[in-house]
Structure 1
């Protein structure tokens, strides 16, 4: 088979943060991109700025995912079909201990991070196999590799997504689908921590207080763009990236 020559990507979670930055990175690298998120207004602005194709959908809903699959199939048919699926959509809610766990928060995190990723992949794996040079990139987290107090729910969800990614790599290698995991540590974005802490801006600001140069959404997007832009036979199985100030999950330098 000839090397992959199409550059057609689907990016979920594209309305803000790492997802939006990834769309911008890929577009600057010459990719055709369908930007997927729930918030149509934000997608419209992103599309205007980048030339990406917006598609409003909730990846946890089967009907929305089915609509996305049909739309992407038609959109990318003239340029070689879907070859890359990048799952950025996810998130965290709460910092409660296991003893004080809010079940609705845990259920939301599992639904978005694990089941949403699964639904998107299940929808697009046939197209990736047919293409012959498919790529899947899942954005997980260092929280999916190491636990910490108050992070049980988020870690459980990201451990699940991490496990899903590893199994997928084994299952789809025979179909020439490369499966990449990008696991960031501390990333300062406008919404992640704010949403996790229930909209408390003061508490969100304290998370990053004194930390010299936490990662940015653009830092992570640059790594994502690099990983999916490599020749297809090179698979960066797992990429862990942290700011220098965060030597480990339990060691963070504040100045």
Structure 2
């Protein structure tokens, strides 16, 4: 059986060309894309400018001798390759399972071609089965929790190794179970208007190409025509 994440990640890496500025995503699927990019840099001598969406991905890239740059040198990105926790029929996403949603969204908004890589279990009719991550400041997070709960969701403060999870930006994450998200764009606006919210894991109208890996080894590539 093939690894769907690996074949999707390696397919996405084939979109990269010499001289590009590339955004490197975070998570188990992006991991394979980064490894393939590293192999191409080594074997083909690709000259790239890369920026990572997390400290974890940045460290991996450096281990693979992928050149990493900062925002002082990068204003626009040609291609970003990242995973998603869910993607619906309209190419909307839930991201943030790995805790990097804020940095991922900053990168997404300066990317010309945004490639999302998933296995087929992540491709859904509508968003919401995966709990929506909301990054919040530590100050007053309990009241931010209350405001989010008033939207009709069940919430858990994210923990890791029995301690409160802290993002790369020093914030908390509240994982919100809406069960089914009927209108992602409206919900995103509502959540952003709550004091204390830094960012939420809804990515609306960002995805250009969706690459779906399957256990059979088949790869489905869907282009967003909208």
What's the TM-score once normalised by structure 2's chain length?
0.38
Q: Which has the higher strand share?
A: 2
Higher helix share: 1
Higher relative CO (Cα under 8 Å, sequence separation at least 6) belongs to 2
